Amino acid sequence: MSDMLNEPRPHIVVLGAGFGGLTFCQKFHHPKARVTVVDRANHHLFQPLLYQVATAGLSAPEIAQPIRSILADKPTVTVLMDEVETLDLAKRRVTLSRQVLEYDYLVLALGGRTSYFGHPEWAEFAPGLKSLDDALNIRRDVLLAFERTETEPDPAAVLRLMTIVVVGGGPTGVEMAGALAELTRVVLKRDFRRIDPSTARVVLIEASTDVLSHMAPDLAANASEQLRQLGVQVRTSTRVKSITQSRVELDNGEVIEAENILWAASVAASPLTQQLGVELDRAGRVKVSPDLSLPGRSEVFAVGDMVSYLQENGKPVPGVSPAAMQQASHVARIIEDELSSAHQSRLPRAAFRYFDKGTMATIGRSAAVAQIGPMKLTGFAAWVAWLVVHLLFLVGFRNKAAVLLQWTYSYFTYKRGARIITPTESPPKA
């Protein structure tokens, strides 16, 4: 273990190096303090582009960066790749799988996980999209289904193999469904001889009356229309009743046989929030104080997807990356001010205020919707806005350049570069 971990300087422990934890490490600066950031992964992941890895548009290294390398120019920050196991707030102690850390301040930025509305048994048959492994597994299963269809004599099996169901019509579900429809109709269509991948069914199931229900109704309706034009079967006001191996049963009694069922319907906070002894919302998110500290624990803060925070207008701060980054910056300022002050605990702390920069979702080539303040964009204009924003926020120049190159290549050739699956990666489904 590094000597730095045992120095007497104030120690700030940051758990998680996603958007919240990484932003804290980048923004926080105080000559008296040292920071230790812990993540189970060795990389920071740009989750907004995960669906492109799952649908063979980008490869994994293009949307991830080693945390160490991002923070290499921060000599007061130590990066530990380890699993957070328990939190003892009374003793100011965090237990990792290989060591124990003590802190003066703790910043919790552990994000969320896929949740299945109380049906954890569905996870086996309908994977969610949260990590690089999830994306690579989905990509493998989808591509493998087409490889198997090419040699499948049974028409019923062909129908099942060529059906993909996406559950959940939020931004992730819409982006996945659109990208899968394009993959089958534009990219794979030209590569097979015995089957026609463009006849594949992509079904998007959404319980509410429209997809993208967080957006203005006209934009949501436009997104549905753009999806339909791409060939996605959009089923709104439809709930899933059960999911088993390659089989989805809907509340209207319909059964869809689908080789690939993908879950994009709901997320919950990290299970570690249950150890905190504070009030949680239904998704397990921490109900933080206005300054983002835990009630009764002024030295412990939580940011990002694991937080439940109501804005002044009564609406919750959404679980998006700008919210996690803004919250992390807010906490960094509070801790810097307190370390600089001789009367740390007496400093009044500012309440966090979320600045909504807008929301957007891409549906396919030249197809997207965006809402930026009063401005609403659809189609090509929204798609260009989406490309620019995602390129700007992607971490690292090399990744920006690689992604721009891939997108340009795909735009002009109608091909996707990340379609290699290896035999060891591809065991047939049971």
Ligand X SMILES: Cc1cc2nc3c(=O)[nH]c(=O)nc-3n(C[C@H](O)[C@H](O)[C@H](O)COP(=O)(O)OP(=O)(O)OC[C@H]3O[C@@H](n4cnc5c(N)ncnc54)[C@H](O)[C@@H]3O)c2cc1C
- Laid out side by side, the sheet with 201-205 consists of 232-235, 201-205, 163-167, 260-263
- Report in angstroms the alpha-carbon separations of 213 from 222, 246, 252, 269, 390: 12, 28, 21, 21, 22
Count interface residues toward ligand X (CB under 6 A): 32
Kindly tell me which residue out of 29, 32, 83, 255 binds ligand X, with binding defined by CB under 6 A. Answer: 83
Answer yes or no whether residue 396 interacts with ligand X by CB under 6 A.
no
Catalytic site includes residue 147: no
The answer to whether 21 contacts ligand X (rule: CB under 6 A) is yes
Catalytic residue among 175, 182, 259, 338: 175
Kindly state the smallest distance separating residue 151's Cβ from ligand X, in Å.
32
Tell which residue, 173, 182, 175, has the closest CA to residue 235.
173
Interacting residue with ligand X among 138, 320, 382, 418 (CB under 6 A): 320
57 binds ligand X (CB under 6 A): no
Is 170 one of the binding residues for ligand X (CB under 6 A)? no
DSSP at 346: G
Cα→Cα distances 281→112, 150, 288, 314, Å = 13, 48, 11, 15
Q: Would the CA dihedral through 327, 333, 336, 338 be positive or negative? A: negative
Q: Which of residues 295-314 bind ligand X (CB under 6 A)?
A: 304-305
Given candidates 13, 89, 108, 110, which one binds ligand X under the rule CB under 6 A?
110
Yes or no: say if 38 and 96 are a contact pair by the CB < 8 Å rule: yes
Under the criterion CB under 6 A, does residue 127 sit at the interface with ligand X?
A: no
Of 57, 127, 171, 364, the one binding ligand X (CB under 6 A) is: 171
The smaller minimum CB distance to ligand X, of residues 125 and 309, is found at 309
Label the pairing between strands 112-114 and 307-308.
Answer: unpaired
Interface stretch with ligand X, choices 38-46, 231-239, 293-301, 397-405 (CB under 6 A): 38-46
> For residue 356, what are the contacts with CB-CB under 8 A and spacing of at least 6?
none
39 binds ligand X (CB under 6 A): yes
Quick check: 20 binds ligand X (CB under 6 A)?
Answer: yes
- Interface with ligand X includes 40 (CB under 6 A)? yes
List Cα–Cα distances, 16 to 21, 36, 58, 268, in angstroms: 5, 10, 24, 16
Q: Which amino acid is at 393?
A: F
Q: Give the pairing of strands 112-114 and 100-102.
A: unpaired
CB of 326 to ligand X, least distance (A): 11
- For residue 172, state whether it binds ligand X (rule: CB under 6 A): yes
Examine residue 18 and tell whether it contacts ligand X (CB under 6 A): yes
Residues forming a β-bridge with 93: 88, 102
**What is the C-alpha separation between 273 and 108, in angstroms, rounded?**
9
Determine which residue in the list 38, 94, 230, 256 makes contact with ligand X, applying CB under 6 A: 38
Please identify the residue of the shown chain whose CB is closest to the bound ligand X: 18
Q: Which residues are catalytic?
A: 175
- Chain residues binding ligand X by CB under 6 A are 16-21, 38-41, 47-48, 50-51, 83-84, 109-111, 129-130, 171-172, 270, 272, 304-305, 319-322, 324
